[in-house]
């Protein structure tokens, strides 16, 4: 088996490499390739990756390269975890929208829109390389945000792709801890879109434990996702952390005006991480990596590859075509739901329809996602404006129009289709 990681110079990579190293007995990876366009970062991260794999007695070989075609050639799995424009682009995503009274965030709202415009064309190019050069039946697994929107673009263009986010596995682990059971005993009814989802059931050995969690711990559950406990009680479901941007928009915008942008913090963390990674005596992922975000990322990623390869048939939450799983959503909409994972791919498990208060928001964001994919591919400014207006966080024309101009100009070097 050959696994290629596009964006292998990411500071997340040691986490991912550890996931594969720990599964060396069940995943016969003969070659693990780390690809990046930044040779200096690749050398640093690749050096630590080699030391981690050596410590874990990983039997395969590690290759680092800046040649994307050679990276994906013959690959059975291509994992995409890139950031077009790097953290400086993220800083723009977080700081431009607040000037227009909007949420500044890297995957949600207008910041996520700008990131999607930069990202979708690049990931589609990687998917085309994979289809042309990869092993027969190669899978493209997208961890690049906005993951659901990017996966919508991949599947709409006919690619063999699955999207993955660490939020569902994070919920599973935290709720298992709260209930005093093993994570493997917990199966979530996770419904909605990537970064726009709710936990509607928490099944433990066939029994839904969510009602008792809400009745006894709704304030704590709300605190964990930065939302009021009253809202958890009202919905009778646990919203993801990202729902705060939709449910508490004005509060968050006001808060962001006085807070340091998260991108600034991440840049500082990354500088520290890369300095640690450069130390030849370091052969484990540093604890500082936990502050970077992405908890359980390696576990989710390696587990998905393992289940696809071994035909395991377990249940994991991923981003796939709906195909009737959520009955009141279109079949071709990419949704984030529990799926049965085996060698044929990810088959979504059918759930009850979304309640009106969830469906309305999901349908509006899905319309925004579809328009954004179309705009990213075409470079059509009218489509881009329609996309921003469809986004619930940027819906007013007199806000969306000048905001679009500002976002396009700030990202000019990464958006040749629009210029």
Catalytic amino acids? Answer: 242
Distance of CA 405 to the CA centre of its chain: 27
Helix crossing, 381-390 with 397-410: angle to 10°? 130
Q: Nearest CA to 169 among 260, 302, 268, 46?
A: 302
Residue 231 per-residue DSSP state: H
Q: Nearest CA to 354 among 341, 368, 336, 369?
A: 336
Distance CA 119, CA 228 (A): 33
Q: Work out the number of other CB atoms within 10 angstroms of the CB of residue 356.
A: 9
Q: Residue 319: which residues within 8 A CB-CB, separation 6 or more?
A: 142, 147, 148, 151, 162, 163, 164, 165, 194, 334, 335, 336
Give one DSSP letter per residue of 379-408, joined into a string: --HHHHHHHHHHSTTS--HHHHHHHHHHHH
* Residue 190 tokens, joined: 């996770």
């Amino acid at each position: 088996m050959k696994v290629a990681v596009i964006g292998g110079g990411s500071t997340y990579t040691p986490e991912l490499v550890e996931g594969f190293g720990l599964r060396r007995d069940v995943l016969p990876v003969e070659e693990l390739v780390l690809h990046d366009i930044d040779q200096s970062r690749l050398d640093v991260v690749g050096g630590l990756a080699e030391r981690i794999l050596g410590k874990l007695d990983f039997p395969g070989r590690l290759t680092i390269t800046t040649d994307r075609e050679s990276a994906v050639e013959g690959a059975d799995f291509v994992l995409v975890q890139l950031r077009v424009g790097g953290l400086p682009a993220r800083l723009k995503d977080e700081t431009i929208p607040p000037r227009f009274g909007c949420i500044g965030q890297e995957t949600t709202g207008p910041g996520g829109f700008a990131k999607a415009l930069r990202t979708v064309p690049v990931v589609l190019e990687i998917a085309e390389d994979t289809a042309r050069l990869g092993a027969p039946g190669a899978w493209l697994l997208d961890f690049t945000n906005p993951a659901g929107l990017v996966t919508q673009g991949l599947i709409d263009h006919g690619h063999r792709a699955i999207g993955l986010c660490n939020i569902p596995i994070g919920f599973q682990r935290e709720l298992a801890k709260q209930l005093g059971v093993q994570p493997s005993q917990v199966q979530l009814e996770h419904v909605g879109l990537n970064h726009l989802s709710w936990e509607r059931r928490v099944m433990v050995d066939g029994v839904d434990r969510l009602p008792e969690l809400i009745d006894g711990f709704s304030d704590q559950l709300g605190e964990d996702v930065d939302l009021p406990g009253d809202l958890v009680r009202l919905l009778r479901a646990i919203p993801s952390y990202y729902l705060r941007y939709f449910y508490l928009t004005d509060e968050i915008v006001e808060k962001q005006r006085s807070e340091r942008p998260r991108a600034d913090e991440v840049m500082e963390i990354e500088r520290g991480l890369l300095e640690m990674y450069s130390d030849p005596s370091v052969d484990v992922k540093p604890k500082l990596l936990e502050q970077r975000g992405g908890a359980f990322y390696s576990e989710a990623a390696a587990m998905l590859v393992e289940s696809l390869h071994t035909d395991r048939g377990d249940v994991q939450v991923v981003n796939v075509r709906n195909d009737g799983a959520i009955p009141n959503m279109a079949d071709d909409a990419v949704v984030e739901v529990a799926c049965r994972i085996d060698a044929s791919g990810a088959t979504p498990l059918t759930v009850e329809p979304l309640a009106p208060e969830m469906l309305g928001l999901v349908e509006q964001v899905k319309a925004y996602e579809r328009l954004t994919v179309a705009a990213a591919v075409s470079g059509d400014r009218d489509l881009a404006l329609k996309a921003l207006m469809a986004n619930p966080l940027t819906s007013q024309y007199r806000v969306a129009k000048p905001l679009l101009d500002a976002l396009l100009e700030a990202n000019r070097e990464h958006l040749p289709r629009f210029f």
